[in-house]
């Protein structure tokens, strides 16, 4: 493992990879500005990425990591050379002397500040053990990449940049880094009026439609719910020959760890509609849903990263959404024991329409990584055979708040986040993991966007099987089928294992319901036919492509 820390006074500092150009100057600052008609003027602030150079740098870096020549290494992101030199120095409590004349540049006549702030991509800063420079040089020569010694490590904590025979800048490294001298702001925040108003929503204000078959049809073709195949088929999902979900559909993506019993489970989640309705609950749901995906696949959550997209932080209401999200994320991460290993924050995601700021829905996207200890216990989501029993793990709630059904079908935008209880969610997930470990279920799929009906339809489609279920008279039928109350997973059980399954569930104290059984292909609810899964699959798979191709 290589750390992004500089150490060892006198060790040489190298810049490797692409040349430094005038692209991406003030790039990070640009990313935090409103996009307007005048944004074209800021074009030089946009970094021009080159995946080919990135691939070469990646390969060379991996080769370099196998040697003992590297003391520390960091990629160059926001604020380019300035940031990487100061962060690496501060982390190692050292300084650096850097000669900007030695930085390979893409064009002549670049100013010192341009070299310092350029965010040209595909560059790394590497501190090398003195005497081992030739090892590094040979690797980068092999890959035809730049490799220039631009300075050395000093002991005074100052980072000094010289250019054309003079000192261009000299700063205390610590003063620029988080946890060091960089300032911490306490911004003002306040709950927007809509927050309390949304909470007044009552399910009784919504009339149950005559035909729920029509609702099911609407949801399966809705772009928020329909298959995202049209998008993901445009990316290589199989390179590395380790993707275990290609031929075995799972809730989380599974990547093989070759030569071991283990696999990695990965998932990304965030329903910004929930976060907008209630940032704290919505963001806790995002973490919980990610963990649920991993649990359903046979894994254990390990850690999260995030991508936090919000409006203007100077707007107290936007900042309130941010504060709430972080609180919700912390609570859920502590419960699932998943540290936040990194991430990024993007503010000012808004459009200015007629002089009014319209922020995006607060979108704290959670990327979770989990470990599957035993590859033989990976659980898939597809129904396996006719006759298997279908159970819901977790409780049924008379709730349609913030569901796609309420929001898009009924066009009711004002409702709180759906039902959610972190303790119940956690207990339910532990139970699902236990069921999988003990081989008591043969499919597991979480209940999420679109509610129970969509979950069942998604489980039906891969093998073109179906389901025959009955609803619960205690709750409204639309809430039962399309409500998005959290903390639920659907599993199927073979008849022979039913008894063991029931024993395990009773001992777990987690509520569960027998919904019905798997059929040859027909989708039936309370003896009403919702069509065949083969037809639903066609509709579900093609809906997004049809919309995209229309425009």
Partner 1 sequence: MKFGVITFPGSNCDKDMVYVLRDIMNLEVEELWHKDQNLKGADVIVLPGGFSYGDYLRSGAIANFSPVMKEVITHANNGGYVLGICNGFQILCESGLLEGTLLHNNNQKFICKNTYLKPISKTAPLTKDLDSEKAYKIPIAHGEGRFFANEQTLKSLEENDQILFQYCDESGAITTEANPNGALKNIAGICNKNKNVFGMMPHPERAADKELRNEDGKIIFETWFNLIK
* Of 486, 476, 499, residue with least CA distance to 426: 486
Q: Using the rule CB under 8 A, is 419 a contact of partner 1?
A: no
Find the binder of partner 1 among 55, 111, 187, 538 (CB under 8 A).
55
Angle at 79 between CA 73 and CA 81, to 5 degrees: 45
Q: How many other β-carbons are positioned within 10 Å of the β-carbon of residue 184? A: 6
Q: Using the rule CB under 8 A, is 411 a contact of partner 1?
A: no
Find the binder of partner 1 among 41, 43, 52, 179 (CB under 8 A).
52
Do residues 192 and 140 touch, judged by C-beta distance below 8 A?
Answer: no
Q: Using the rule CB under 8 A, is 228 a contact of partner 1?
A: no
Query: Using CB under 8 A as the criterion, what x/- string covers residues 299-338 for binding partner 1?
Result: ----------------------------------------
Distance of closest approach, residue 522 Cβ to partner 1, in angstroms: 22
Find the binder of partner 1 among 132, 248, 377, 384 (CB under 8 A).
248
First to last CA, the chain: 48
* Of 306, 378, 387, 291, residue with least CA distance to 341: 306
Q: Using the rule CB under 8 A, is 234 a contact of partner 1?
A: yes
Distance of closest approach, residue 246 Cβ to partner 1, in angstroms: 7
How many chain residues touch partner 1 (CB under 8 A)?
29
CA 322 to CA 347: how far, in whole Å?
10
Tokens of 352: 């200015």
Nearer to partner 1 among residue 165 and residue 259 (C-beta): 259
Element (H, E) at 47: none
Q: Using the rule CB under 8 A, is 235 a contact of partner 1?
A: yes
Find the binder of partner 1 among 25, 31, 45, 56 (CB under 8 A).
56
Most distant CA pair in the chain: distance in Å? 85
Q: Using the rule CB under 8 A, is 233 a contact of partner 1?
A: yes
Find the binder of partner 1 among 143, 195, 391, 501 (CB under 8 A).
143
The window from 94-102, 128-136, 243-251, 491-499 that contacts partner 1 (CB under 8 A) reads: 243-251
Q: Using the rule CB under 8 A, is 243 a contact of partner 1?
A: yes
Laid out side by side, the sheet with 363-372 consists of 253-256, 263-269, 363-372, 300-309, 340-346
348 three-class SS: coil
Q: Using the rule CB under 8 A, is 185 a contact of partner 1?
A: no
For 483-497, b where at least 16 C-beta lie within 10 A, e where not — what string? bbbbbbbbbbbbeeb
The window from 100-108, 141-149, 482-490, 505-513 that contacts partner 1 (CB under 8 A) reads: 141-149
- The three-state DSSP-derived secondary structure of 224-261 is CCCCCHHHHCCCCCCCCCCECCCCCCCCCEEEECCCCC
Q: Using the rule CB under 8 A, is 540 a contact of partner 1?
A: no
Q: Which residue has the tokens 């600052």?
A: 29
Find the binder of partner 1 among 40, 43, 241, 353 (CB under 8 A).
241
Tokens of 481: 């089928």
Nearer to partner 1 among residue 58 and residue 345 (C-beta): 58
Q: Using the rule CB under 8 A, is 464 a contact of partner 1?
A: no
Tokens of 369: 């990584």
The window from 85-93, 171-179, 244-252, 520-528 that contacts partner 1 (CB under 8 A) reads: 244-252
- Residues making contact with partner 1 (CB under 8 A): 50-53, 55-56, 142-144, 232-244, 246-248, 256, 258-259, 375
């Amino acid at each position: 493992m290589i750390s992004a820390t500089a150490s060892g006074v006198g060790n040489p500092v190298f810049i490797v990879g692409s040349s430094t150009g005038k692209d991406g100057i003030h790039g990070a600052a640009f990313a935090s500005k409103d996009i307007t008609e005048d944004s074209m003027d800021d074009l030089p602030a946009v970094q021009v990425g080159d995946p080919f150079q990135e691939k070469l740098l990646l390969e060379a870096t991996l080769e370099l990591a196998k040697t003992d020549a590297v003391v520390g290494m960091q990629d160059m992101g926001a604020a380019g050379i300035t940031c990487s030199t100061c962060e690496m120095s501060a982390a190692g409590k050292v300084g650096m002397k850097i000669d900007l004349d030695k930085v390979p540049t893409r064009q002549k006549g670049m100013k010192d500040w341009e070299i310092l702030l350029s965010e040209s991509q595909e560059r790394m800063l590497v501190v090398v053990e003195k005497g081992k420079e030739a090892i590094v040089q040979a690797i980068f020569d092999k890959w035809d990449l730049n490799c220039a010694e631009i300075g050395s490590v000093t002991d005074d904590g100052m980072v000094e940049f010289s250019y054309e025979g003079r000192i261009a800048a000299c700063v205390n490294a610590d003063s620029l880094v988080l946890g060091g001298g960089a300032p911490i702001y306490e911004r003002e925040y306040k709950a927007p009026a809509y927050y309390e108003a949304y909470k007044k929503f009552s399910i009784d204000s919504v009339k149950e439609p005559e035909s729920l078959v029509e609702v099911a049809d609407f949801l399966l073709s809705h772009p928020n719910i329909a298959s995202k195949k049209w998008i993901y088929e445009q990316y290589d999902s199989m390179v590395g020959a380790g993707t275990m979900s290609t031929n075995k559909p799972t809730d989380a993506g599974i990547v093989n760890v070759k030569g071991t019993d283990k696999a990695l489970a990965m998932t990304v989640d965030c329903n910004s509609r929930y976060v907008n309705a209630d940032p704290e609950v919505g963001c806790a749901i995002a973490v919980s849903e990610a963990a649920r995906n991993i649990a359903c696949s046979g894994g254990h959550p390990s850690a999260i990263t995030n991508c936090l997209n919000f409006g203007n932080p100077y707007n107290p209401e936007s900042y309130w959404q941010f504060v709430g999200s972080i609180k919700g994320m912390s609570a859920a991460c502590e419960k699932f024991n998943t540290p936040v290993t990194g991430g990024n924050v993007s503010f000012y995601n808004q459009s200015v329409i007629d002089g009014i700021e319209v922020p995006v829905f607060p979108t704290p996207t959670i990327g979770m990584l989990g470990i599957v200890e035993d590859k033989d216990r990976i659980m898939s989501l597809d129904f396996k055979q006719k006759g298997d029993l279908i159970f819901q793990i977790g409780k049924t709630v008379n709730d349609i708040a913030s569901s796609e059904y309420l929001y898009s079908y009924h066009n009711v935008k004002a409702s709180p986040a759906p039902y959610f209880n972190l303790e119940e969610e956690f207990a339910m997930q532990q139970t699902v993991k236990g069921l999988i470990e003990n081989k008591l279920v043969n499919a597991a799929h979480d209940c999420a966007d679109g509610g129970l009906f969509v979950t069942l339809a998604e489980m039906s489609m891969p093998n073109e099987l179906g389901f025959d279920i009955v609803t619960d008279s205690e709750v409204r039928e639309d809430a039962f089928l399309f409500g998005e109350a959290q903390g639920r997973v659907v599993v199927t059980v073979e008849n022979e294992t039913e008894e063991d399954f029931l024993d395990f569930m009773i001992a777990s104290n987690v509520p569960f319901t027998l919904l019905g059984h798997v059929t040859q292909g027909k989708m039936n609810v309370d003896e009403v036919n919702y069509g065949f899964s083969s037809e639903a699959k066609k509709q579900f798979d093609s809906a997004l492509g049809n919309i995209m191709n229309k425009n």
